[in-house]
Amino acid sequence: MCGIVGYVGKARCVEVLMEGLRNLEYRGYDSAGLALQLGGRIETIKRPGRLDNLAEALEERNGHLSAAHTGVGHTRWATHGRPSEANAHPQLGNGGSVAVVHNGIIENFAELKEELKERGVTFSSETDTEVIAHLLAQRVEAGEPLREALASALRRLRGSFAVAAVSAKEPGKVVAARKQSPLVVGQGAGENYLASAVQALLKQTRRFLVVENGEIVELTGSSVGIFTLDGESVERESFEVEWEAEAIELGGYEDYMLKEIHDQPSALRNTLSGRVDSGGAVDLPEVDLAGVERIAVVGCGTAYHAGLLGKEAIERLARIPVEVAVSSEYRYAHLVGDEKTLVVAISQSGETTDTLAAIEAARAFGGRILAVTNTQGSLITREADAVLLTKAGPEIGVAATKTFLAQIAALYLLALGLARAKGATPEEELRELGRDLRRAPEKVEETLGLLEGRVEEAASLFEEARCALFLGRGSSYPVALEGALKLKEISYLPAEGYPAGEMKHGPIALVDEHSPVVAVLGQGLTREKSLSNVEETVARGASVISVARENDSAARRMSRVVLPVPEAPGILDPFVSSVPLQLLAYRVAKGRALDVDKPRNLAKSVTVE
Ligand code: F6R
């Protein structure tokens, strides 16, 4: 949460920082600001609200700031202090001799603030960040070079942070550091950059360096130095990211979410490519599948829902017991496991604090860690023993869509690989499933085609709704949970995902004509059992929307609207059934004139506990 950027080099500092913030706005959009070195001074410009407000303020300055060569920028998800100009970053120390941007939380800020106040420092914000700015300024005023001053200030801090700072005394230089929160350095020619995530800088460079916990970076236009807190220089290999700059363009779509829903066939193609051959044989050289006797899957939100689908597939095919837990619970649970336990940590961003903490907790019992992530070079890739990369490309919309489907694909590959290593399912059956899985991109494409123009009618049933119920059984249950999450996070309508058979034990009391029921029917026995459960809601006045095969006459009879999915092998059910629910949430939110890419109170990358 919160995005930071830094730049040193040429007279396009404002342009690079604003472009970086635009690409990091998914991390928080409560306020935004820049600090720029100009004529031996630091100029700041900040605005509450969206980045557009800052862009307008910059325009009003008539290019006055465009001569800057060095600066830092920030987009905020408020933790300490409400969204306001005073609480926006950059925060200044000592009347503006240094400026600091920060992502994370300083846990001991209250005691540091008291101490600084006693020494006569006046505070102008409610942020925890301002203590860093004052600590840094005091060291700089005492004559320490900026990098050493930052190291001294950091020694006083508890918590998680990525910080970047500039000083009026050291033109052409940005310093930065991280502990737990993410930070990468981008390398250019005669200019260098830093950011919370690589996508901030894809238009500038694809060559990056990671910064490890406890390291300090010093950037000038011609050099990048990485140091320990004690000032020792550290060697670091750079890496090249696979993502193209065009991947973060809207490409003619109205919103990123809609674009990303339509990107799903190619996200799946890329994730499956090279991992399952035309004969259906799965090859995952990145993961050691031997000797796994127990599995724990951890993740948050959408990643947790993908984990539930992974459990079903692994237990069915590999016959290995799987526990699935929400990371924030797992990290404090009384964990059972040993070195034969594989811990699968799922995180699109690779940055989620709770999931990283769950990994740390699993380390304590000797678990082997496999990260399933979409982000090369992210924190989770450095904490895990092995990485299974989903190759969905950058996801900008705050609501996860294409990365969900890519996570399911990765977990199904894992299930097939484990089943083979265990010899738990006949080889020919596994190959057939592998061949089926290869058809996921094509079937999702077909689903998108079938749904063209069909979702609006279903969305219209939500106009008077006060809540919604999403029902499913078997592998349709996690799909229902995900459908409910999508609806609530972007349309702000209360929605519950529930196992269809469990309705009569309580939630059926919610059913009336203002609570649409969305039934994810699936195939076979699951479908039959769900049909009867959903009939019970119809009898109580529910308007039902079914996700079902087009020729499913029982579904048609029972439903106000059927969102059709194509005939597909059973393993593909979660893929095809998720798409109508994503589009339904999208249409309901658009009908309420809401910003689907940046829903209120949320941020895409959750780097606080
Ligand atoms: C929902 C959503 C969140 C994330 C969750 C985990 O649309 O995006 O629920 O799935 O915050 O994020 P990652 O996968 O980055 O760990």
**What is the pLDDT averaged over residues 74-79?**
89
Determine the distance separating the centroid of ligand 1 and the alpha carbon of 37, expressed in angstroms: 36
Q: Rg (Cα) of the chain, in Å, rounded?
A: 25
pLDDT at 287 over 90: yes
pLDDT at 606 over 80: no
For the stretch 466-516, pLDDT in tens is 999 999 999 999 999 999 999 999 999 999 999 999 988 988 888 888 999
8-state DSSP, 449: H
Other beta carbons less than 10 A from residue 190's beta carbon: 9
Determine the distance separating the centroid of ligand 1 and the alpha carbon of 357, expressed in angstroms: 15
Return the bridge partners of 105, or none.
160
Do 250-438 and 451-597 agree at the fold level? yes
| Atom of ligand 1 lying closest to residue 404 CA | 10
Among 328, 330, 358, 334, residue whose Cα is nearest residue 345: 358
Band (12; pLDDT cuts 50, 70, 90): very high
Q: What is the mean pLDDT of the chain?
A: 94
* Phi (first) and psi of residue 371, to 5 degrees: -95, 135
Please give the pLDDT value at position 507.
84
Q: What angle do CA 457, 260, 375 make, to 5 degrees?
A: 150
Other beta carbons less than 10 A from residue 529's beta carbon: 16
Name the superfamily (CATH) of residues 3-241. Aminohydrolase, N-terminal nucleophile (Ntn) domain (3.60.20.10)
Could you tell me the pTM of the whole model?
A: 0.88
**What is the pLDDT averaged over residues 447-459?**
95
Alpha-carbon torsion, ordered 427, 432, 435, 439, to 10 deg: -150
- Give the C-alpha separation, 354 to 328, whole Å: 5
Please give the pLDDT value at position 504.
85
- Give the C-alpha separation, 387 to 344, whole Å: 10
Please give the pLDDT value at position 227.
97
Question: Ligand 1: which of 77, 298, 302, 329 to mutate, judged by most atoms within 8 Å of the beta carbon?
Answer: 302
pLDDT at 18 over 90: yes
300 lines ligand 1 (CB under 6 A): yes
| Atom of ligand 1 lying closest to residue 605 CA | 15
- Give the C-alpha separation, 43 to 193, whole Å: 19
Question: Ligand 1: which of 305, 329, 330, 348 to mutate, judged by most atoms within 8 Å of the beta carbon?
Answer: 348
Query: What amino acid occupies position 286?
Result: E
- Give, rounded to a whole angstrom, the gap between the first and last alpha carbons of the chain: 11
- Give the C-alpha separation, 369 to 287, whole Å: 10
Determine the distance separating the centroid of ligand 1 and the alpha carbon of 304, expressed in angstroms: 8
Q: What residues contact 528, with CB distance under 8 A and at least 6 apart?
A: none
Q: Topology of domain 250-438, per CATH?
A: Rossmann fold (3.40.50)
Among 220, 211, 100, 186, residue whose Cα is nearest residue 149: 100
H-helix segments, 293-439: 302-318, 327-330, 353-363, 379-383, 402-422, 427-437
597 lines ligand 1 (CB under 6 A): no
Residue found under tokens 């994370």: 104
For the stretch 393-411, pLDDT in tens is 999 999 999 999 999 999 9
**What is the pLDDT averaged over residues 257-283?**
97
The percentage of the chain sitting over the pLDDT mark of 70, rounded to a whole number, equals: 100
| Atom of ligand 1 lying closest to residue 486 CA | 7
Could you tell me which CATH number the domain at 451-597 has?
3.40.50.10490
Determine the distance separating the centroid of ligand 1 and the alpha carbon of 346, expressed in angstroms: 9
Please give the pLDDT value at position 596.
95
**What is the pLDDT averaged over residues 526-539?**
91
Residue spans per domain, the chain: 3-241, 250-438, 451-597
Which amino acid residue places its CA nearest to atom 13 of ligand 1? 347
Higher-scoring residue by pLDDT: 1, 400: 400
pLDDT at 169 over 90: yes
| Atom of ligand 1 lying closest to residue 606 CA | 11
372 lines ligand 1 (CB under 6 A): no
List residues with catalytic annotation.
2, 604
DSSP string, 532-545: HHHHHHHTTT--EE
375 lines ligand 1 (CB under 6 A): no
